[in-house]
């Protein structure tokens, strides 16, 4: 097999309030890193959508990536009740107009600080579920019980869990058995032979490549897939096909 072509589910750019050593912030630097590591496409959000306001950051994102067709917009969303953000039906209209097919959110106490419970986010999750729009959610933003409630209430929602860790198998295996639309990003899943075990138990379809650049290393994320002891077909699924399929099934 030749070099894998990676489709990254979790990249960002833009200035941040916390300086991470060796990280970068310009979109041009992200493009250079992607080219170096063989990452051909990437879902990207703007740091200002997380650290300031989703509506502002989403606009900045669309302006800065317009000359890079291989950078796919990943909008940051939040509940609409305070009128800081559009109602779900209006959000879907805007996403359709701009060709946005995936979203992320930052409900954690250190970020946008809101509840993911049905009484607050139910309408938003319903809209995403209805249109097949993948939600990319960091494990640093939620808890196991919140994940269970979310997936129980919205079993057809495609949810990609990012920023995972090596201690999650005793919970994620259970959720994998219960919810077929749950996926995890590979970058943080640094479990000894963990990728191989998930491929064997649940199928490579549950794993989606992500790098977390610029906070984390794109080269390390790529190496995890290249050196995994799985078949070439499974590597291709993880590297780009799984995400490609999810994006291709979005109904806008």
CATH of the domain at 163: 3.20.20.140
Give the Cα separation of 109 and 189 in Å (integer): 24
> Is 99 a member of any domain?
yes
Peptide bond into 214 cis (omega under 30): yes
Asked if residue 204 is part of any domain, the answer here is yes
| The token pair that represents 47 in the structure block | 């740091």
- The number of distinct structural domains making up the chain is 1
3-state secondary structure of 188: coil
- Phi (first) and psi of residue 82, to 5 degrees: -90, 5
**Residue 218 clears pLDDT 80, i.e. is over it:** yes
Establish if 78 belongs to a structural domain: yes
pLDDT exceeds 70 at position 1 = no
pTM of structure: 0.96
Q: Is residue 129 part of a domain?
A: yes
CB atoms < 10 A from the CB of 222, how many? 23
For residue 1, is it within any domain? no
pLDDT in tens, 187-205: 999 999 999 999 999 999 9
What pLDDT, on the 0 to 100 scale, is given for residue 2? Answer: 66
The single residue listed with the structure tokens 């097949």 is 132
Identify the pLDDT of residue 3: 84
Selection from 140, 197, 150, 208 nearest residue 178 by Cα: 150
C-alpha separations of 26 from 32, 74, 90, 110, 211 in Å: 10, 17, 30, 24, 16
Residue 157 lies in a domain: yes
Contact 6, 207 (CB under 8 A): no
176 within 8 A of 148, measured Cβ to Cβ: no
- Mean pLDDT, the chain, integer: 96
30-43 average pLDDT score: 97
Q: Which residue range is the domain that position 63 belongs to?
A: 6-248
Residue 22's pLDDT is what?
76
97: tokens are: 């107009």
Query: Where residue 83 falls among pLDDT bands split at 50, 70, 90?
Result: very high
Q: Is residue 222 part of a domain?
A: yes
- CB within 8 Å of 65: residues ≥ 6 apart: 27, 44, 71, 73
Q: What is the mean pLDDT of residues 77-106?
A: 97
Distance of CA 231 to the CA centre of its chain: 24
**Residue 239, in any domain of the structure:** yes
What is the share, in percent, of the chain residues with pLDDT greater than 90? 94
The pLDDT of residue 21 is 78
């Amino acid at each position: 097999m030749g070099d894998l072509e990676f489709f990254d589910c979790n990249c960002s750019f833009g200035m941040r309030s916390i300086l991470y050593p060796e990280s970068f912030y310009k979109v041009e630097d992200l493009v250079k890193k992607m080219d170096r590591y063989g990452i051909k496409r990437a879902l990207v959000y703007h740091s200002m959508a997380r650290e300031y306001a989703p509506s502002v950051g989403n606009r900045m994102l669309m302006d800065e990536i317009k000359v890079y067709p291989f950078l796919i917009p990943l909008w940051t969303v939040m509940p609409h009740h305070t009128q800081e953000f559009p109602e779900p039906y209006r959000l879907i209209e805007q996403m359709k107009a701009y060709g946005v097919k995936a979203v992320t959110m930052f409900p954690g106490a250190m970020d946008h600080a809101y509840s993911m419970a049905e009484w607050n986010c139910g309408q938003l999750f319903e809209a995403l579920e209805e249109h097949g729009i993948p939600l990319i959610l960091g494990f640093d933003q939620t808890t196991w019980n919140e994940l269970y409630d979310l997936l129980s209430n919205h079993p057809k929602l495609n949810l990609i869990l990012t920023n995972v860790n090596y201690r999650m198998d005793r919970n994620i295996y259970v959720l994998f058995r219960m919810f077929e639309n749950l996926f995890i990003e590979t970058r943080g899943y640094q479990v000894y032979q963990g990728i191989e075990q998930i491929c064997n138990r649940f199928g490579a379809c549950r794993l989606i490549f992500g790098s977390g650049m610029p906070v984390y290393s794109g080269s390390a994320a790529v190496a995890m897939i290249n050196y995994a002891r799985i078949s070439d077909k499974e590597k291709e699924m993880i590297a780009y096909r799984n995400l490609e399929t999810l994006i291709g099934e979005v109904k806008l």
